[in-house]
A and B are shown apart, each in its own frame.
Chain A
């Protein structure tokens, strides 16, 4: 009984610290807009920690950016507008998924390039496995003649 009580206590304490992170983040009252803002936050890179989205970063700047995202969404901005607002200030880097443009062609194209290379390799190894080409009728004739000569001995 005491152990059971203890584990409940631990669970409650842990959940309090878990809530502490989000406490100063006020979700929007409109659940549709809040969902829109949350989806957008997952796409925005935290510029301090760099490989996290602002949605799951505890950095100060990430919290400020979350607030800006919510603010603009609640004022009626579309997610595209908010994205453009952030790209204007921080560049494409702020988006976790890089957009396709001249500087990212290689990035997006590299899987296809790799596929082409593999196809090329497969083609080559198949050609090698096929062995030498069959004899032409002229060559066959010559071979037959040589074999006959050998028989005659």
Chain B
């Protein structure tokens, strides 16, 4: 009991303090749900195009050989409005196609939303009942996925792309993908 044994309680306290401190100092968002879809192929789907004169959106569009970004959005979603400018920047400045999926939104309202704020999407589909989003493990809009040319999900951004997250998180991921 003498010698090393008496330091065991102290050791336990030091380890616990270390664990709690590291958890408190990290900038992780405890509400964020980690995606289990990373590294998995995108689910197969076929949904109507947001624009009637264009063909239906299918998962084949995400397997074109070139990386694409898939963004779940809705016109009723305020954070989507907040991140929209960054999506326009992504689509116009970085030679990558951004595909929009309107989540549980009236197509008319989605189109008005894009008319008002600009349309960054190379293609956009309508997920009227939100079933496709559930297949992607989406828990709420906006969520943004990076897909490699083979249709495998490589990265997921949870919540709106605001603040420095475009520069700090998304652009490095995009560079890695390309």
Q: Which residues of A contact B (CB under 8 A)?
A: 47-48, 50, 60-61, 64-65, 68, 87-91, 93, 117, 120, 124, 127
Contact = CB atoms under 8 A, between A and B. Distances in A.
Interface string B103-145: 0100000000000000000000000011100111101100000
A91 B36 CA distance: 6
Given A50-B31, A91-B36, A93-B33, A65 B134 contact: yes
Given A48-B139, A89-B136, A64 B36 contact: no
Nearest to A124: B1
- In terms of DSSP, what is the predominant structure of the interface of chain A? helix
29 contacts: A47-B33, A47-B139, A48-B139, A48-B140, A60-B104, A61-B130, A61-B134, A64-B129, A64-B131, A64-B134, A68-B134, A87-B36, A88-B36, A89-B36, A89-B37, A89-B134, A89-B135, A89-B136, A90-B33, A90-B36, A90-B137, A90-B139, A91-B35, A91-B36, A93-B33, A93-B34, A117-B12, A124-B1, A127-B1
Contacts of B36: 87-91
- In terms of DSSP, what is the predominant structure of the interface of chain B? loop
What 8 A-B pairs are tightest by C-beta distance, nearest first? Answer: A47-B139, A91-B36, A89-B137, A90-B137, A93-B33, A64-B130, A48-B140, A47-B33
Interface of B: 1, 8, 12, 31, 33-37, 104, 129-131, 134-137, 139-140
B34 A91 contact: yes
Contacts of A47: 33, 139-140
Nearest to A65: B134
B33 A91 contact: yes
Contacts of A127: 1
Given A50-B31, A91-B137, 13 more contacts: A47-B140, A61-B139, A64-B129, A64-B130, A64-B134, A68-B134, A87-B36, A89-B36, A89-B135, A90-B33, A91-B33, A91-B34, A93-B33
